[in-house]
Each structure stands twice: as structure tokens, then as C-alpha cells.
Amino acid sequence: MRESEPSVVSLQHKAYRNTGLGHYLRNAASNKLLYLMILPGFIYFVIFKYFPMGGLIISFQDYQPYLGIRDSPWVGFKHFVRLFTEPTFAMLLSNTLILFALELVIFFPIPIILALMMNEVRHRLFRNSIQTIVYIPHFMSWVIIVSITYVFLSVDGGVVNEIIAALGGSKISFLTSPEWLRPMYILQIIWKEAGWSTIIYLAAITVVDTQLYEAAEMDGASRLRKMWHVTLPAIRPVIITLLILKIGNTLELGFEHMYLLLNSLNREVGEIFDTYIFTAGLKNGQLSFSTTVGLFKGLVGLVLVMFANRLAKKLGEDGVY
């Protein structure tokens, strides 16, 4: 073999450097600061999300804290059978699905509309002021949000009921009436999270090619037309991705918010899986059963994410993975 011709070893070494493990190692070395930046988030998920998954094994045990996981007796699918055969399961499932449907239909589009509206505000100081105002409720805890609601809606001295009484109407028991629980729940979510949820959409709007707006303007498109035919199609991948992630949280509505709104009079329409896990697990000490409920929620969320992702790809979208 002539000296000018590369050897097989050198060709293999070059292929190793350009593809496979060598490529990833060189990429990691050149972006080490980026990997260092995501390290705290990675550690958080490992410690608080993946490592605790080992405890799901007690779903198949009659777990006793003083015996531990190793010595607690195995009961197979006993807790799953109990979950699906108890009369409360139908109530929990219907309440959770109804509240999720309300969130999906009413709350999910609002941040998109709000982001489109704020993007059309040309006065920078006014836009920044509006953004600050709508972001603030996100940083309040649900305890504060619900407490403010109590001040406004309580029968004794509530601002809203006092206005109704002053106008000659009868006071309404918003806080204990089952028919008012769900509207109150959705309105509180809109108040607290709608502004904060616009951040991702506003970030997506900023990368839209300005030449598209110029071309639409030359064709005589109004601001509303540009919003509909340029901005919305440009941020559609972001909307689809967030929608898929939202669908994965179908049974994961959150504990604190609903628990603060629940009472003995509205429990029939407000009890959801998250509050039921707290009641069964911590109040009644049924740790294995409450873990079973949590495992059921996680599996349903996983299946729904996979289904929604496949559907999105069939419709021509990128999906989550």
C-alpha cells in the first residue's frame, strides 16, 4: 500500500471521530457549560421523580411501615381490584375528567389569545406593564388565591354578596354550593396561571420571520388577518406540544387547589384523585392503596401522551418525541 493512501486504521479512526460515540463526546466537550447548566434539573428529576418510582412496588403489597418493603406481605392486584370496584371510583373519575375538560376547553386557549393580544400592543411601556400585572398572580400560593376568593364570595360580609344584596337580590352561597364549585375552580386557574402561561407563546412569536408580516401587509392583510394567517401557523408546533403535555395530565389536576375548596357540601362534585390519595394515604393510613391510585394516574397519563403524540404525527405535526 502506498504511503499517500490512508490506512484502514486511520479511516476507522476518522469515522469514529465523525460519527457514533466520538461525535457525542466531542459535542459534549464543546458544550460542557450547557450540560453543566442542565445538571441541577437532571439531579432534581433523578432524586424526586425517578428514584421514588421504586416505591411503587408497595402497590402490590399490604405495606406496613414497621415491617418495611422487604417484609410486608404481597397481595398481588388486590388494591387495583378495590380501586376499580369501589363506588367512589366512578365519582372520582367523572369529577376529574369534567374538570380537565373544562380546563382544556376554557383555560387552554386563553393564554394563546392573551399572547396574541399582547404581541399586538406597540407601546412597549404599556405592554411591559400589562405583562407584569398578569404575571403576578402566578407567584401567589393557592392558599392566598383561595383566601382572596373567600373574602369576595363569602355570605357573611363578602363583597360580591353585599353588592347583590344592595341591588335587592338574595345572597348566594358560592363557597358551599356544588353548582358553583367548578366555575369557581376554573376562574381561579385563569386568574392565577393565564398570564404566566403566555411566556412560552410570546417567546415563540418573537422568532416568527418578520418578512412574513411584511409580505402579508403588502397583500393588504389587516392586523387580524396577519395574526390568523401568519402568527398562529408559526406557533402551531408549540401549541401542539403543550397540548400533548396537557393531555398527559388528564388525571393530574393538583392537590392543593381543590383541597382548599372542598367541604362537606360540595365534595360530591369536587373530590378528585389527588385529594382522594391524600385522604386515603395520609389521613387513613392506607399507603399501599393510595400508591395504587397514584400508579393508575401515572399509567393513564403515559398512555394518553403516547396516543396524543402519535395522533399529532399522523396529522403532520412534530409531536413531543
Task: Identify which has the larger pLDDT, 280 or 315.
Answer: 280
Predicted pLDDT at 95: 95
Does the structure show a pLDDT above 60 at 303? yes
Domain coordinates in residue numbering, the chain: 77-314
Say how many Å lie between the first and final Cα of the chain, rounded.
47
Instruction: Name residues whose C-beta falls within 8 Å of residue 186's C-beta, 6 or more positions apart in sequence.
Output: 99, 102, 103, 106, 107
- Architecture of the CATH domain 77-314: Orthogonal Bundle (1.10)
Nearest residue to 256 via CA among 144, 143, 164: 143
Does the structure show a pLDDT above 90 at 123? no
Does the structure show a pLDDT above 60 at 2? no
pLDDT tens digit sequence for 247-258: 988 888 888 999
Paired strand residues for 74:
61
Rounded distance, CA 106 to CA 116, Å? 17
C-alpha cell at 128: 411591559
Does the structure show a pLDDT above 50 at 150? yes
The pair phi, psi for residue 151, each rounded to 5°, is -65, -40
Does the structure show a pLDDT above 90 at 96? yes
Rounded distance, CA 208 to CA 232, Å? 10
Instruction: Name residues whose C-beta falls within 8 Å of residue 77's C-beta, 6 or more positions apart in sequence.
Output: 60
Rounded distance, CA 240 to CA 213, Å? 22
